[in-house]
Structure 1
């Protein structure tokens, strides 16, 4: 199957987006980072490519979605604990993120999230078990 994932997200201000994620403790892969793109390292072989809007337009004939007005994608990342979920949301809020909803506790799964500077939705979850079978 697949060995890596690169989620491509357009950004209005690449420098501001990089500073936002760096404030949360994330790093950028130097080989995938330049003036028009930044390879946000999410884990082993997991990347979000933050792209300037002009550069992103080169990959599609469709118009780019304004993520503050419409949902284009929900990026969901697993965390090792509820505390990690809460800590990342707190860091995101401190760095300027919107946090539009309260945490969700489903028993087997705890989640919370934020919207980055461009409105992209990042969900963070900690699963303690598989969901119940219906």
Structure 2
């Protein structure tokens, strides 16, 4: 990953480079995390009267990656890149919502479910040791 150009801030979002691929990212709120995959942040936000309160929402715009790559490559890259995003943002448990109909991310849903289950199990074990 090229750290020198990792983050380029604009008015309300940032371009984040994951595995050297650019994604526009909007990170707002606090609490349980929902990652929403879109192909245009502005258009998505214009269709949403309000975003959910009491929740952290990370909107990931994949348009820059879509324009540079073939669809099947985007799907494969997206799985690796969002997995990295979970690590970079230290996200333990997340929900993912895909608003880009022609992108198939079933593998990402499975990875996220496994990761959420592992993190819940780890928390449970840590609480067990604290109570001992």
What range describes the TM-score normalised by the shorter chain of this pair? under 0.3
Q: Report the TM-score when normalising by structure 2.
A: 0.28
Which has more helix, going by share of residues?
2
Which has more strand, going by share of residues?
1
